[in-house]
Every structure is written in C-alpha cells, then in structure tokens.
Structure 1
Amino acid sequence: MDINGKTALVTGGTEGIGLEIARQLLAKGAKVIVCSRREEPLESARLEGLEAIQADLSTADGCSALAAALSGRPIDMLINNAGMSGNFGPGEPLDLALTDQAIFLNLNAPLHLIGHFLPGLLQRPEAVVVNVTSGLAIAPRSGGPVYCATKAGLRSFTQSLRHNLRGTNVHVIEALPPVVDTAMTRGRVNGKKMSAQGCAAEIVDAIATNAKEANVGMVKLLRLVYSISPALTRRIMIKF
C-alpha cells in the first residue's frame, strides 16, 4: 500500500506501540486518527499533529460511538491495536469483571470495529485491516492466560477474515509483536524487551509491502521453532 495520502484509524494510538505506529504513518504522509479513554494523552497526540478522539472501546456502545463520530469519513487503514493484560497471578482469584473487560477490548472490540468500518473500507481503492495480536497467540504463557486466550482468538479470526476478503480491495494483516517495552509490560514482564519504535517500524513496513503477517522481532524465531516442534514451543513458552 502507498501510505502517503491515506487515512488511518489507530486504536490505542496514544501510547506504546500504537503511538509509534501513528507517528510513523504520519511521517509517511498519512492522516492519522487515534483514540483513547483519557483526555490527557489525546491532547498530547494532538500536539504531534494527530487527530484524537475520546472513545472507550471496552464496551459495544463505545465502539459504536467511535464509528458514529467518524461516519462518512474515508478510512483506508483500520489498525486494531488497543489492548490490556487482564492477567491474574498464580493462586489469585480470577477477577471476572477485569476478565470481561479484557475479552471485550482485546477480542470483541476489533470485531465490532471491523463490522462498523468494513463497508466503507470496501469502497476505497485500496484498504487494509491490521489486527495486532502477539507471539503469545502462537503459544501461551502461564502468567497471562486471559491475554493469551484473547490474542489466540483474534489470530484465528484474522486468518478467517483474510480468506473471506480474498479478491477484494481490503488486505488483512496480522501483526505479532514480541515482549515490547510499554506501560503494560513494565513491572510485569522481566527480561529483554523490544522498543515500541522498533516494533512499530516492522508493522508499518508490513503495511507498505502488503505482507500477510508481521512476525516482529523474536517472534520470527518463535515461528521457526514452532514450525519444527509445536509441542516443544508450547513447553518452553508456558514457563515464560
């Protein structure tokens, strides 16, 4: 896709990977719309030249409100990046309210937004849907069961959606980041982490080159090991 002149909607685009994707698309000549529940990061995004809309994507009404706010606007790129961990630790009770919120934000919200925006995307000369999942969608870890489940579900949906939209003008990309240095992973995940800027660069490159998947950073190695032995990969990752 020629990014210059296109309009992109990036959910979760005011921090972390989403903000870096938004910045890099803007630098390539795209008009970029981001959303967040909080006004403070929205104002910071506006100062960088991004269009920013307040939206709570953890509810169906919030997804509908965002679609209504952009009704009639041409959207060429829908980048479903917003997410939360929703994790619980060993021996801790499962917080059902937090679980429901994570399931909706991570899995249902991308489906709702695709449902809202797909008719318009199909009318564009060329368009793309990017669903940001995770390397943990391939093999889960014990420390993040809810997060892993939602990302695996979104991975499955993305693969089916790509097949269903074959032959149309809408290209579907799955982006699978490794552990990235963001607010969500700080204090929760130890070890080496990829920068949000580097992760975003690989996702933006996948958009520009019409890739089917963006296996980002160490996920390339994960995919290789999985192709050799899925069982070994699962045994390694569950302890991660």
Structure 2
Amino acid sequence: MQLVGKLALVTGGTDGIGLEIARQLKRKGTDIIVCGRREDLLGSARTEGFEAINADLSNAEGCQALVQVLTNRPLDILVNNAGMSGNFGPEDPLDLALTDRAIFLNLNAPMHLIGQFLPGLLTRPEAAIVNVTSGLAIAPRAGGPVYCATKAGLRSFTKALRYNLRHNKVHVIEALPPVVDTAMTRGRVGGSKMSAKECASQIVDAIESNSREANVGMVKLLKMVYSISPALARWVMIRF
C-alpha cells in the first residue's frame, strides 16, 4: 500500500503502540488523526503535529460522536488499536461496569467504527482496516480472561471480514503483538517486553506490504507451536 498522502485514523493513538504507529505512518507521509480520552496525552499529540480528538470508545455514544466529527473526511486507513485489560479474576474485586467497558472498547468499538467508515473506505482507490488483537487471541493466559476473550473475538471477526471484502480494495490486516511495554502492562505483566516502537514498526511494515497478518515478535513462535500442537500452546500460555 502506498502510504504517502493517505489519511489514517488511529484509535488509542495518544500512547503506547498506537502513538508509535501514528508517528511511523506520519514519517512515511500519511496524514494522521488520533483519538484518546486523556487531555494531557491529547495535548502532547497535538504538540507533535497530530490532529487529536477526545473520544471515549467504550460505549456506543462515544463511537458515534467520533464518526460524526469525521463525517466527510476521506479516510484511507482505519487502525483499531484502542483497548483495555478489564478486571475479572480471583485476585481482583469484581467490577462488572469495568468489564462491560472493556468488552465494548476491545470488541464492539472496532465493529461500530468499521460499520460506519466502511462505505467511505470502499470508495477509496486503496484502503486498509487494521485490527490490533494480540498473541493472546491465539491462546489465552489466566491473568487476563476478559482481554483474551475480546481479542479472540476480534480475531474471528477480522478473519470473516477479510473474506467478505476479498473482492474489494479494502485490505484487512490483523496485528498480533506480544507483550509490549505500555501503560497497560506495567505492573501487571512481568518478564521481557517488546518496545512499542519496534512493535509499531512491524505493524506499519505489514500495512505497507499488504500483509494479511502482522505476527509481531514472539507471536511468530507461538503460532508455530500452535500449528504443531494447539494443546501445548494453550498449556504454555494459560500459565504465562
């Protein structure tokens, strides 16, 4: 895909992987719109020269408000990156409101935005939808049941969407990061973590090369193990 002169929307684009995707697309000549919820991060993004929109995508009203703001803007690339971990486990107090927000943000919001922006994307000479899932969409870990469930759901949706759009010029890409050093993983997940910059680089390469998937870092190994023995991959990851 030719990135120069394209217009991209990156959700969750004010921090972490999303911000790095926005930076790297911008360096390749793409015009960028980012959205997020924190005014301090939105201000920092504007300082870097991004168009930044305050949008809460954890509910239908927030998704619709973002769509209305961008009515008549000719999007070429939609990057569904925004996400949150949720809260559900024996060591966490049950917070169903937070769980519902996580389910909507991680799974429903990409569907809402794709449904609203797809008619416009179909009119572009070439376009891309990038859904950021996770290696945990392949095999879950015990520490993040809500996150794993939503990412697995988004992976399934992405596969079906890609098939449905196979005769169109809208390329559907799934990005599967490993554990990345972001605000969401700090203090919650230990061990070695990939930098957000390197993760974003591999995702942007996948967009540029029209790849179907960006299996980032250790996810390549996970997919290999899963292809040999799904049971082994699940056994390893559930304890991760």
TM-score (norm 2): 0.99
Deviations along 1:169-206, one digit per CA (max 9) or x if unpaired, are 10000000000000000000000000000000000000
What residue in structure 2 maps to residue 208 of structure 1? 208
What residue in structure 2 maps to residue 42 of structure 1? 42
Deviation at 1:162, TM superposition (A): 0.1
Paired letter, 1:109: A
* Distance of 2:197 and 2:90 partners within structure 1: 32
What residue in structure 2 maps to residue 117 of structure 1? 117
What residue in structure 2 maps to residue 228 of structure 1? 228
* Distance of 1:90 and 1:192 partners within structure 2: 25
What residue in structure 2 maps to residue 150 of structure 1? 150
What residue in structure 2 maps to residue 165 of structure 1? 165
Identify if the C-alpha distance between structure 1 residues 182 and 126 changes in structure 2 by more than 3 Å, giving closer, same or farther. Answer: same
* Residues 13-28 of structure 1 mapped to structure 2, 5 A cutoff: 13-28=13-28
* Residues 1:104 and 2:107 aligned together: no
* Distance of 1:42 and 1:116 partners within structure 2: 23
* Residues 1:30 and 2:24 aligned together: no
Q: Structure 2: 5+ residue runs without aligned partners?
A: none
Deviation at 1:208, TM superposition (A): 0.2
Paired letter, 2:98: L
| Preserved CA contact (<8 Å) 1:90 1:143 | no
Paired letter, 2:109: A
Task: Look up the SS of the partner of 2:222 in the other structure.
Answer: helix
Task: Decide which moves more: 86-95 or 206-215.
Answer: 86-95
Moved over 2 A (4+): 87-94
Deviation at 1:212, TM superposition (A): 0.1
Q: Structure 1: 5+ residue runs without aligned partners?
A: none
| Preserved CA contact (<8 Å) 1:172 1:212 | yes
| Preserved CA contact (<8 Å) 2:8 2:75 | yes
Paired letter, 2:231: A
Deviations along 1:128-184, one digit per CA (max 9) or x if unpaired, are 000000000000000000000000000000000000001101000000000000000
What residue in structure 2 maps to residue 80 of structure 1? 80
Paired letter, 2:229: S
Counting aligned pairs with the same residue, the percent is 75
Task: Look up the SS of the partner of 2:10 in the other structure.
Answer: strand
Paired letter, 1:156: S
Deviations along 1:7-65, one digit per CA (max 9) or x if unpaired, are 00000000000000000000000000000112211111011111101111011010000
Deviation at 1:90, TM superposition (A): 2.5
Deviation at 1:95, TM superposition (A): 1.5
